Chain A
Amino acid sequence: MTGLRFGTGAIALAALVLAFAWHIAVGAKMIPLGTVAEALWSYDETVFDHVVIRDLRLPRALMAVAVGAGLAVAGALMQGVTRNPLADPGLLGLLAGASFAVVLGTFTGLTGPAAIPVLAAVGALAAASVVWGIASAVPGGATPMTLVLAGAVVTAFLAALTAIMLLIDETSFEALRVWLTGTLAGRPGSAGLWAMGWLALGLFIALGAARQVTALAMGDEAATGLGVDVKKLRLAILASIVALTAAAVALAGPMGFVGLVVPHMVRLVVGHDYRVIVPASAVVGATYMLLADIAARMLLAPVEISTGLITALLGAPVFVWLVRARL
């Protein structure tokens, strides 16, 4: 069993490394994999390709890894804690809340590299509370269906308000229009470093709490019986989800369905132990995001489409299938 698990893990990691190298090699100018390796190990700033790789392609690939891992882990935790196969930061309104808060911050002049992740976190937390509040007040309680409907309505509302703000303030409109469809094309700069900090914090909590999430996924009573402090765990997981979502939104804007698709793929292979699901979701999520970004750059080349459109195109059919199969 353990041998099998290590084998699967090794394959997943190898896939991640391959996708990473391919992601760097692909673009307006195809760069051979040998040059990619050279640029990483023996950097020579007189070689043009090396500069392209170091300055443009490597940051983008790292961003894809961070966003994919963060969203996938956030989705896995949400699905475990709410025992809801349809949980996802996008579907439950967290991405809309985070991007609304960032746009509102830009609108009121409250920006800065450190402020963006904070705004995103506050927005995600507020949206999550509202969605949860609506869904639990519905007769019948917070079922997967009511949660998704509440998430859809909060998303629609915030999206309309966001669009209105962008129309009123044309300067931020230009800067944020592409970001709002979910893209990795921007240069993160120092905001990226702050976001990475939030991501590391979220992943740290997630990995620490993973063992107890498995117990929680069996039900509150079972978890309490197994010695889990359910309330404390829920708060820790919520903090982790908010931090991961905020980091992902700060880096790449709202990227839908990643948190839905990846944990389901992972669960098909590794089963229901969250000690495995959480790190596996991180690795697979990063690979998935790299591949989605490759598709976004290649599909209609030389035009580049937003990566968020690719994740929606891949994720929406999975969502429909889950609705049909699980509900």
Chain B
Amino acid sequence: MSEALWQKLDGRVTFAVPLLAILVLATLFALICAITLVALVSGSFPMSATDALQSIAGNPPSDMAATVVWEFRLPRALTAAMAGALLAGSGAVLQTVTRNALADPSLVGVSQGAGLAVVTVLVIYPQTPIGLRPILAFVGALAVAVLIQAIAIRRTGGATMRFILTGIGVAAFLGAVTQAMLTYGDLDRAMTALGWLAGSVHAAGWGDVQVLCISLSLLIPAMIWATRPLAALRMGPEIATGLGCAVTRDRAALIALSVALAASAVAMVGPLGFVGLIAPHLARRLARSGPGLHLALSLATGSALVAIADLIGRTAFAPIQIPAGLVTAVIGAPVFGWLLLKRQH
């Protein structure tokens, strides 16, 4: 029993409440909180859970504990969780709009476009304020998305695979340009850019958290708007037109939304691979639901995923920090292979 019926006005109006999905969503939130707590207590400075909670509440056991929690571990955990949510939302929207189960912002070059824009600025104008980065990333990512669409589109349809393959080619090209930029640039600046490119949250501070919060608060209303066109478009363009959806306009708006979501995450933590691919599939497997709730589930799943990936990355081989992007790639690539095998024709 995954749904409950909720009747109003003497049974004249009935709502189907997706109990299971809501339960899963609540569990995911609890999981994210738990991971955050584990992230707060694990590391080279030993700390108990009560100490960590006390520090957050405002009466830390020592100054050292306060610094560790407030300056290092908390912003890092929050950055990981929010970036994961943004990437997962991007992947979920992109997969529904392109009706392609394999779509992922980092696979089709969108993340690399954002990455190139940010690296260019990091190397050439290192004084650029951090708040401008998402806008730059968005411009770069959008340009790449438009380019891929223009190359891959063909009137006769069947463009889904071509879309991915074109994306792989464009991603390779942009990756090479970015690498060349790093070789050319000043070594110190290049090292900053290099750490960022691996998809790492290890240097996250409150600046990143602030920018991610602003991005999320701007983009969540857009995602709420997006649930209606998404619900129509996932039936295919013909049925969506029949349902009264302006397909061309809505599709463009949704792709722009997906690009914006990916760009604002990439701008802060670098191109974290495969999160946008895995999270929506995992969410669907956890609970079947309508497009709106699925989007929310995807956000929560992506958030938990990156939080776990970062936790693994920094504890597995401590004191060496493995960037979260590498952990997500190691988890995500086999998932991609499995999705490829399961693909329906």
List residues of chain A with CB under 8 Å of any chain B CB. 86, 134, 137-140, 145-146, 148-150, 152-154, 156-157, 159-161, 163-164, 167-168, 181, 256-257, 300, 303-306, 308-310, 312-313, 315-317, 319-320, 323-324, 327
Contact = CB atoms under 8 A, between A and B. Distances in A.
Give the interface size class of chain B. Answer: 35 or more
A69 to B, nearest CB: 22
Nearest to B161: A145
Contacts of B161: 145, 149, 327
B162 A156 contact: no
Given A323-B165, A323-B169, A160 B333 contact: yes
B176 A309 contact: yes
Contact of A319 (B107, B172, B344, B345): B172
A160 B166 contact: no
A300 B183 CA distance: 9
B17 interface: no
Given A159-B329, A320-B173, 17 more contacts: A148-B168, A149-B340, A152-B168, A160-B330, A161-B330, A164-B322, A300-B180, A305-B183, A309-B179, A312-B176, A313-B180, A315-B172, A316-B176, A317-B169, A319-B168, A323-B152, A327-B161
A153 B334 CA distance: 8
A305 B164 CA distance: 29
Contact of B341 (A137, A148, A157, A315): A137
Contacts of B325: 160
A164 B172 contact: no
A320 B169 contact: yes
A303 B325 CA distance: 29
B285 interface: no
Contacts of B333: 153-154, 156-157, 160
B175 interface: yes
B179 A316 contact: no
A79 B169 CA distance: 18
B183 A316 contact: no
B340 A134 contact: yes
A163 B326 contact: yes
B125 interface: no
B249 interface: no
B342 to A, nearest CB: 8
B45 interface: no
A168 B317 contact: yes
B336 to A, nearest CB: 5
B337 A153 contact: yes
Interface in B303-345: 317, 320-322, 325-327, 329-330, 332-334, 336-337, 340-341, 343-345
Interface in B171-199: 172-173, 175-177, 179-180, 183-184, 198
A176 B166 CA distance: 30
B329 A156 contact: yes
The 3 closest A-B pairs by CB, nearest first: A157-B333, A316-B173, A160-B329
Nearest to A312: B176
A143 to B, nearest CB: 9
Contact of B184 (A146, A150, A163, A305): A305
A167 B337 contact: no
A316 B322 contact: no
